[in-house]
Amino acid sequence: MSENLPLTIPHVAQAAARNWGDQPALLEQGEEWSFAELWDRSRAAASAFIAAGMGKGDRIAIWAPNSREWIVAAIGAMAAGAAIVPLNTRLKGREAGDILRRTGARLLLTVGEFLGTRYPDLIAAEDLPALERTILLDSDWDAFVDSGKGAGDPAVTEALARLAPGDISDIMFTSGTTGAPKGVISTHDRIVPMFRHWVEVMGLKAGERYLIINPFFHSFGFKAGWVAALIAGAVIVPMASFDIPQVIRHIEQDRINFLPGPPTIYQSLLAAKAQTDFDTSSLRGAATGAASVPPELIRRMRSELGLVDTVTAYGMTECSTITSCRRGDDAELIATSVGKAIPGLQVRITGEDGQEVARGETGEIHVRGYGVMAGYLDDPEATAETIDADGWLHTGDVGVMDEDGYVRITDRLKDMYISGGFNCYPAEIEKLLSENPEVGMVAVIGVPDDRMGEIGKAFIVPRPGASPDAEGLAAWARANMANYKVPRIFEIVESLPLNASGKVLKTELRKTA
């Protein structure tokens, strides 16, 4: 890894081509691309984006599963000066349409079909005045790239010379307690230094094979995924969807070294290994988080899967990585904490008065430094509520810090639960469910689940004259929201517990659940 790392993602890809040239950069479906080829393809894509009139200030949305085309499109779009807007592949048309409108995306890169979902059909009825063109990565992409002047286009060199570290790299949407997803604005100089430090903490080395199961629309698959691999010179092995037999084939045939993901992945691998032994001798490292991790799981990952360099980390869309354990930390520490601040960031625990509390005392986790978002898209009020005048990002998570700076998360101030590694915001789910004509009032909470960590439970008060049932509500929810948001339990109730001001008492609902 170069000491003089450039501070934009396209320049990182360019430096990787310069440093590692013909060495393998990406392996997908048996085909291998070198770092030089990846950069050439990215330049050719940038030329096509420039020919299509894309440049600084424009937004290009990517709504597609993990693939090499996703990476090339992202690097090419950013090299042209545009910002990318990654969309969750589980979104429904209404959710995707809202994001496309709010970002003013001029181009949408998607796929014709993935896992039975036809993406262009989902947004066919959406009013998208800014959207000029939809390009299908699985059928139109080559023709689109050919519409440019190729990798040698001088316009790409000129665009790269204009690209600055402080330019917007991406706008990634996170849900919120207000019920409306918020666009988190990030810049190149927030991402590159953070994941350079992440690479050092994880010990990711040039030539190591990195299986990226985490989706590219998420920071874990995008920034801690292929961007980190480009910084390290590691080989990117993308997976479009999580499938245990396929994961095992990758581990054995592609000799995977580094395998991050939520705890569910490792639990599934251990269960599969108990049934049929497979070769895990190539595995070295893992990064996990997003849910509680039992110490026994860490021990088994190390002893049975060979993931000796297993660590837990903590981050959020507004600051992709905040803390991380370190290689060599014992299983108990890794399982019970999310580590200490990554280099260059400040983390503190604060009381209700906003002042830092003593070590060992509980309070809200705050973070400050280069990795904190630039702000929320078109929402200065929400930005000011989240980032205070001194630059501290208020995470909404409650935790405690020990004498060594290691943080343990104990609760959430914000009304959120994590299901299978995805943040689920009850306010947003309640807003969507309330559009069902049979729903009068609704309250959603997270309840513990052995496999998913937590699942959603919805308490429904029917509208007068309506008689909804759990099965019908679940089917309606699956049709109208991303499946990870769909509550797994629906309970029909006559009323919800309310306080004097009419606010639902979720503490009472949690007691009954």
- pLDDT tens by residue, 421-469: 888 888 788 878 988 999 988 889 999 988 888 999 999 999 888 999 9
Is residue 127, in this structure, part of any structural domain at all?
yes
Residue 49 located in a structural domain: yes
Confirm whether 319 is domain-assigned.
no
**pLDDT above 70: residue 304:** yes
Greater confidence, 150 or 2?
150
Does 361 fall in a domain? no
Looking at 184, 214, 241, the residue that finishes a domain is 241
Indicate which CATH number applies to the domain containing 508. Answer: 3.30.300.30
Interval 186-204 mean pLDDT? 96
Q: Is the pLDDT of residue 233 over 70?
A: yes
Mean pLDDT (whole number) for 232-251: 96
For the stretch 90-111, pLDDT in tens is: 899 999 999 999 999 999 999 9
Structure tokens at 288: 């996990």
Q: Which of 241, 269, 301 is the last residue of a domain?
A: 241
3-state secondary structure of 189: helix
Q: Output the pLDDT for position 268.
A: 87
| Cα distance between residue 294 and residue 308, in whole Å | 16
Looking at the DSSP bridge assignments, the partners of residue 310 are 286
pLDDT for the residue 426: 85
Q: Could you give the angle at which helices 35-51 and 68-79 cross, rounded to 10 degrees?
A: 60
Question: Considering only 289-293, 337-341, 452-456, which range has the smallest mean pLDDT?
Answer: 289-293
295 by Cβ neighbours in 10 Å (0-12 / 13-18 / 19+) ranks as middle
Of the pLDDT bands very low, low, confident and very high (cuts 50, 70, 90), residue 416 is confident
- What is the span of the domain harbouring residue 24? 9-241
Q: What pLDDT score was predicted for residue 332?
A: 87
Looking at residue 180, its pLDDT comes to 75
Q: Is the model more confident about 512 or about 231?
A: 231
Across 85-89, 185-189, 435-439, least confident range: 435-439
In the chain, the largest separation of any two C-alpha atoms, in whole Å, equals 69
Number of domains in the chain: 2
Residue 138, pLDDT above cutoff 90 = yes
Last residue of a domain, one of 241, 271, 295: 241
Closest CA relative to residue 126, chosen from 96, 84, 171 = 96
Q: Please give the average per-residue pLDDT across 156-184, as a whole number.
A: 89
> 174 or 118, which is more confident?
118
Burial 476-503 (b: 16+ CB within 10 A, else e): bbeebbbebbbbebbeebeebbeeeeee
Q: Inform me whether the pLDDT recorded for 1 exceeds 60.
A: no
Q: How confident is the model at residue 367 (pLDDT cuts 50, 70, 90)?
A: very high
Burial environment of residue 352 by CB neighbours within 10 A (0 to 12, 13 to 18, 19 or more): exposed
* 309 — pLDDT class (breaks 50, 70, 90): very high
Q: Which of 143-152, 405-414, 427-436 has the highest mean predicted lDDT (pLDDT)?
A: 143-152
pLDDT at 175: 62
Confidence class of residue 320 from pLDDT cuts 50, 70 and 90?
very high
Measured from the Cβ of residue 92, the count of other Cβ atoms closer than 10 Å reads 18
Which of the pair, 495 or 504, is modelled with greater confidence? 495
297-303 long-range contacts (CB < 8 A, ≥24 apart) are 297/263, 297/266, 297/267, 297/270, 297/335, 298/331, 298/334, 298/335, 299/331, 300/266, 300/270, 301/266, 301/270, 302/331
Asked whether residue 351 is domain-assigned, the answer is no
Share of the chain above pLDDT 70, in %: 96
- Do the domain assignments include residue 445? yes
Please give the pLDDT value at position 441: 84
Q: Are 456 and 429 in contact (CB under 8 A)?
A: yes
- Binned at pLDDT 50, 70 and 90, residue 358 comes out as very high
Whole-number mean pLDDT of the chain? 93
Count other C-beta atoms under 10 Å from residue 81's C-beta.
22
The H or E element that residue 222 is part of is none
Q: Which residue has the higher pLDDT, 62 or 509?
A: 62
- In the structure encoding, which two tokens stand for residue 284, read together? 């070295």
C-beta atoms surrounding 461 within 10 Å: 16
Burial class (CB in 10 A: 0-12, 13-18, 19+), 346: exposed
Helix (H, G, I), strand (E, B) or coil at 471: helix
The pLDDT, as a whole number, for residue 499 is 66
Whether 328 maps to a domain, the answer reads: no
CA distance 502 to 443: 13
Residue 218 is part of a domain; what is its CATH number? Answer: 3.40.50.12780
Q: Which residues, at least 6 apart from 294, have a Cβ–Cβ distance to it below 8 Å? A: 335
Are the C-beta atoms of 376 and 182 separated by less than 8 Å? yes
Tokens 């009419």, located at residue: 502
Tens-digit pLDDT profile for residues 198-226: 999 999 999 999 999 999 999 999 999 99
Q: In this predicted model, what pLDDT tens digit does every residue of 383-405 receive, in sequence order?
A: 999 999 999 999 988 889 999 99
Place of tokens 């002047």: 149
pLDDT at 49: 98
* The pLDDT of residue 511: 85
In a domain, 289, yes or no: no
Residue 503 confidence (pLDDT): 67
Give the predicted TM-score (pTM) of the model.
0.86
